[in-house]
Amino acid sequence: MSFLQEQWQSHSRQPSPARRYSSQREFEADWVGRLRRRYGISQESLAVMASVSVTTVQNWENPGSHKNIAPHNQDRLRDIERELWIKSHVTLLEPCPPFIRALHDLLAGNRDASAQGLADYLVTQMDANDPERARLLHWAGLAHSIADPASAKAREYQRAALAALGRHLSPLSAAIENEILGSQFEDLLALPESPERREMGRNLASACQRLYQRDHQPAYLWNALEVACRAPLDTATQYALLGELAAALGDASVRRRVMSDPAYQAARAAYALAADAASVN
């Protein structure tokens, strides 16, 4: 069975898919378009990566085309998706421990089961107070989620990685923490609106707040607010974060950024509530 046929059948088995398709060909066209949009690449760039013409990519994305994507091109699209996923989720920050490099090589080589086995073993062997534990837990989550984004074990490792953030401060800490936060934010955006998405948002926002309490860098609070807006978390949580930011930076500065930056659009309602409360009093 070809790669996109497997994807199509998996989609067809979902009881309440986010979108319904009239045919496998329509699904294929949308899958290629979503791949490009997710990673911000043009049709020209995808054509180069797949070693095909731009016209071919345009045909792939045309649901009216009667010709399915050839199996060998589907295999190449599968590999491209993996390459883009790895590139968007991880970087080999130096100094890079040998076990992290080994996990990267296994994932890049499409050896997910081996990567998962190694990650599970390393997690059980590493001391709970090891400064590298947050990074290892993050990579363990990646090893499981690359094959199955809905993996319960991946979510367990992701939560543990967030909980481990902020326990150590070293020259690499900020880079590792930003990699973990960035990767998990991407995963958050990929989830459909659901209790799982909101739970992940709460964990991610809490981690950002802990890092702010440690370093007093307002960027972490802005990150927490964006998570609260995109998860989305309740208005009370957004309001509390706005209060923390206003205490650190001043209300006028925070209000100006929130009202002008689309990332914080959901938080604008908190200002409306505050204005209503003020008018009542």
Per residue in 250-259, pLDDT tens?
A: 999 999 999 9
Distance CA 73, CA 79 (A): 10
For Cα atoms 188, 189, 193, give the angle at the middle one, nearest 5 degrees.
Answer: 85
Range 23-42 average pLDDT:
93
| Residue 161 resides in a domain | no
> What's the mean per-residue pLDDT of the chain?
88
Q: With 80 as the cut, is the pLDDT of residue 261 above it? A: yes
Range 123-131 average pLDDT:
91
pLDDT at residue number 72: 93
Q: With 70 as the cut, is the pLDDT of residue 263 above it? A: yes
| Residue 216 resides in a domain | yes
Q: What is the DSSP letter of 266?
A: G
Q: With 90 as the cut, is the pLDDT of residue 249 above it? A: yes
| Residue 115 resides in a domain | no
Range 197-213 average pLDDT:
92
Residue ending a domain, among 13, 33, 66, is 66
> What domain range includes position 275?
191-281
What is the per-residue pLDDT across 63-120, written as a single tens digit (0 to 9) for each?
A: 998 788 999 999 999 999 999 988 888 777 788 889 999 999 999 888 999 999 999 9
Range 235-245 average pLDDT:
92
| Residue 29 resides in a domain | yes
Token pair of 86, please?
A: 């790895």
pLDDT at residue number 225: 96
Q: With 60 as the cut, is the pLDDT of residue 265 above it? A: yes
Distance CA 241, CA 247 (A): 10
| Residue 26 resides in a domain | yes
Residue ending a domain, among 66, 83, 113, is 66
90-93, Cβ contacts within 8 angstroms, sequence gap of 24 or more: 90/139, 90/142, 90/179, 90/183, 91/179, 93/172, 93/175, 93/176, 93/179
Question: How many folded domains does the chain comprise?
Answer: 2
Least confident of 28-32, 245-249, 258-262, 271-275: 271-275
pLDDT at residue number 276: 52
Q: With 80 as the cut, is the pLDDT of residue 231 above it? A: yes
pLDDT at residue number 101: 93
| Residue 128 resides in a domain | no
pLDDT at residue number 278: 47
Residue whose C-alpha is closest to residue 149's, from 98, 112, 109: 112
- CATH number for 61: 1.10.260
241 with 271: CB under 8 angstroms? no
- Say which residues have a Cβ less than 8 Å from residue 118's Cβ, sequence separation at least 6: 99, 102, 103, 106, 143
Residue ending a domain, among 11, 39, 66, is 66
- Say which residues have a Cβ less than 8 Å from residue 136's Cβ, sequence separation at least 6: 99, 100, 119, 122, 123, 126, 130
Residue 193, SS3 per DSSP: coil
Q: With 90 as the cut, is the pLDDT of residue 46 above it? A: yes
Encode 30-76 in three state secondary structure.
Answer: HHHHHHHHHHCCCHHHHHHHHCCCHHHHHHHCCCCCCCCCCHHHHHH
pLDDT at residue number 224: 96
| Residue 32 resides in a domain | yes
Least confident of 33-37, 123-127, 179-183: 179-183
- Say which residues have a Cβ less than 8 Å from residue 57's Cβ, sequence separation at least 6: 32, 43, 46, 47, 50
225 with 212: CB under 8 angstroms? no
Range 260-269 average pLDDT:
91
pTM exceeds 0.85 for this model: no
Give me the phi and psi of 53, to 5 degrees please: -85, 160
| Residue 39 resides in a domain | yes
Q: For residue 254, give the amino acid letter.
A: V
